Structure 1
Amino acid sequence: MVDPGAEPEILIVTGMSGAGRTTTGNVLEDLGWYVIDNLPPQLLQSLADLADTALRDRAERLRYAVVVDVRARSFFGHLRAAMDEMRHRGWRPNLVFLDATDEALVRRFESVRRPHPLQGDGRLLDGIQAERAQLEHLRSIADVVIDTSGLNVHQLARKLSPIFSPAGRHRLRLAVVSFGFKYGVPLDADFVFDMRFLPNPYWVPELRNHTGKETEVAEYVLSRDGASEFVERVAALFEPVTAGYVREERRYVTIAVGCTGGKHRSVAMAEAIAARLATSTISSFVVHRDLGRE
């Protein structure tokens, strides 16, 4: 058995083809995780055997990340059995699912001029939709879903690093994502808040070309009626929620904060909410998904 005090940790990284599994593996490796790419689920129990031995010999906290390909027909049965066995040994495997819109995936496959693995003789979109249907259940049981639709590899790396970095040993990592409704709601959002109840700085000439990260815009947004009260009520709402997540050992949560274009109100409010929710046991960070798209 694994020593519970050593807190061994394992991530199983999977998701849609083209959604960023390779980039995620590279980022995790840079963060000090021991990454194994394209491991068949049947071999996860062998990995647990090796990890048990390594832990006994080195008596230190171990962090493993396994990037798996979900297209094998027997994937689901083998993966669930392997995860159950790991829990029996004292491991706490976390399933990470990478997703993106059909539009984003089509664009990525076309840019590299490669067919989708499940495309066969059909269209590229046929392959993507077949894979999405096959993975629907797996996405529903994932511990964390990451939407990579509007992110390039560098932006994805910046989003992943605060979530999976060992720094601080926080029990819960909270991502606050600002976005523009006209670009779509983030796929990985656990909670969505709409900031369009606040006046839009876009209509203030001296603020139009600035963003919610700048002091003058942030002060304008937070001084509007209801803005500060909203931040406090979100904090109050999340007190029992985050306590429950900690009890259930859920480690990653995404809050999406939206406005029309993702430039002014959502950016300022996301920064304020993240700062308000940060505690000694909660690590919060901000991702501005659509900032700069206009």
Structure 2
Amino acid sequence: MSSDKFIVIVTGLSGAGKTVTLRTLEDIGFFCVDNLPPPVILEFLKLLEEYTNVKNIAIGIDIRVQQFLEEATKVIEKIKNTYKAEILFLEADEDTILLRYKETRRPHPLSTYSSNLIEAIKRERTLLYCLRSLSDRIIDTSSFNPHQLRALVRSIYASEEILPSVTIISFGYKKGIPTNADLVFDARFLPNPYFIPSLMDLNGTDQSVKNFVLSQKETVEFLSHVKNFLTFAVSGYKKEGRAYITIAIGCTGGKHRSVVLAEEIAQHLKSLSFNPVVIHRDL
């Protein structure tokens, strides 16, 4: 048995949460691949063994490979005999899957066999029983929303707490708000160093500009509110399982106030154990 590899085979009913599960596993560091034909899975694992140092691997198998289902059971048995492996089977009741398909308006993989969605769901459940019987962990996701399923998967498979990746962008409103921002803070009401002749040609990375901005009563109060909010918000993002958070803070030109504040916010998030990346877009 190859002890340095851990493989999770993610399978189950369409609409039960396989995509959410695979994306969550990828977020916590698994090498993920979906819908490989079972006959090539063992060769794929050998290639990873030979050319990479990947330790955690997740492989999605579902009804789309139905012509290989008999082969899939044999491959899974070989994987479990060779590697440290776990088979995760996701399922949900028919009413829940029916509702999810109506919400997404996507066709069921077996819709070519039956125009009746209920019949397709029942047929899939029957066809996948062979994989279900091999499973080490079966999760009924009927009562889960995507956030709850992500949290469950992280609690099972994350070896340590995974913090979201945080990017902080300072910017000038003259050139527009960053399109990828999740949170935007407007600092244009704060006293502007640009109107101080000795500071006009400097920027927020210069100590004299930083001293000016941080000495203002409005700045102190503004930072207090922003820091308190971010302490609350990033905790919620972490619980939700968000992988990325982008925080943007803007002033008029993006060279003075926003730069100082972005650096201050970064230091605050570091005190919360995050490791933010700071980008000064308009310097």
If the length of structure 2 is used for normalisation, what is the TM-score?
0.52
Residue in 1 that maps onto 2:90: 98
Which amino acid is the alignment partner of residue 12 of structure 2? G
How has the CA–CA distance of structure 1 residues 87 and 68 changed in structure 2, closer, same or farther, with 3 Å as cutoff? closer
Are 1:29 and 2:26 matched, yes or no? yes
Residue in 1 that maps onto 2:124: 131
Residue in 2 that maps onto 1:40: 37
* From 38, 46, 49, the counterpart of 1:49: 46
Is the 1:39–1:69 Cα contact (8 Å) retained in structure 2?
no
Report the 3-state secondary structure (helix = DSSP H, G, I; strand = E; otherwise coil) of the residue aligned with 2:63: coil
- Report the Cα distance in structure 1 between the residues aligned to 2:23 and 2:65, rounded to whole angstroms: 23
- Report the Cα distance in structure 2 between the residues aligned to 1:72 and 1:36, rounded to whole angstroms: 14
Residue in 1 that maps onto 2:251: none
How has the CA–CA distance of structure 1 residues 111 and 166 changed in structure 2, closer, same or farther, with 3 Å as cutoff? same
How has the CA–CA distance of structure 1 residues 9 and 130 changed in structure 2, closer, same or farther, with 3 Å as cutoff? same
Contiguous gaps of at least 5 residues in structure 1:
169-294
For residue 165 of structure 1, report the CA deviation from its aligned partner. 1.0
- Report the Cα distance in structure 2 between the residues aligned to 1:84 and 1:129, rounded to whole angstroms: 25
Which amino acid is the alignment partner of residue 138 of structure 1? L
For residue 71 of structure 1, report the CA deviation from its aligned partner. 3.7
Which amino acid is the alignment partner of residue 42 of structure 1? P
Alignment of 1:211-226 (within 5 A): none
The root-mean-square deviation of aligned C-alpha atoms, in Å, is 2.1
How has the CA–CA distance of structure 1 residues 84 and 132 changed in structure 2, closer, same or farther, with 3 Å as cutoff? closer
Residue in 1 that maps onto 2:65: 72
Which amino acid is the alignment partner of residue 88 of structure 2? V
For residue 47 of structure 1, report the CA deviation from its aligned partner. 1.7
Residue in 2 that maps onto 1:281: none
* From 142, 167, 170, the counterpart of 2:135: 142
- Report the Cα distance in structure 2 between the residues aligned to 1:110 and 1:165, rounded to whole angstroms: 32
How has the CA–CA distance of structure 1 residues 13 and 122 changed in structure 2, closer, same or farther, with 3 Å as cutoff? same
Which amino acid is the alignment partner of residue 130 of structure 1? R
Encode CA deviations 1:233-281: one digit per residue, 9 max, x unaligned: xxxxxxxxxxxxxxxxxxxxxxxxxxxxxxxxxxxxxxxxxxxxxxxxx
Encode CA deviations 1:48-73: one digit per residue, 9 max, x unaligned: 21132146xx4xx7000011223434
Residue in 1 that maps onto 2:160: 167
If the length of structure 1 is used for normalisation, what is the TM-score?
0.50
Are 1:11 and 2:8 matched, yes or no? yes
Which amino acid is the alignment partner of residue 26 of structure 1? R
For residue 87 of structure 1, report the CA deviation from its aligned partner. 4.2
Q: Identity percentage over the alignment?
A: 34
Encode CA deviations 1:76-131: one digit per residue, 9 max, x unaligned: 3222332343345x312211111000000000001122232213343111111111
- Report the Cα distance in structure 2 between the residues aligned to 1:144 and 1:54, rounded to whole angstroms: 30
Residue in 2 that maps onto 1:107: 99
The aligned length equals 160
Is the 2:9–2:60 Cα contact (8 Å) retained in structure 1?
yes
Contiguous gaps of at least 5 residues in structure 2:
162-283
- Report the Cα distance in structure 1 between the residues aligned to 2:72 and 2:85, rounded to whole angstroms: 11
- Report the Cα distance in structure 2 between the residues aligned to 1:81 and 1:138, rounded to whole angstroms: 10
Report the 3-state secondary structure (helix = DSSP H, G, I; strand = E; otherwise coil) of the residue aligned with 1:13: strand
Encode CA deviations 1:149-204: one digit per residue, 9 max, x unaligned: 11111111011111111239xxxxxxxxxxxxxxxxxxxxxxxxxxxxxxxxxxxx
Is the 1:42–1:79 Cα contact (8 Å) retained in structure 2?
yes
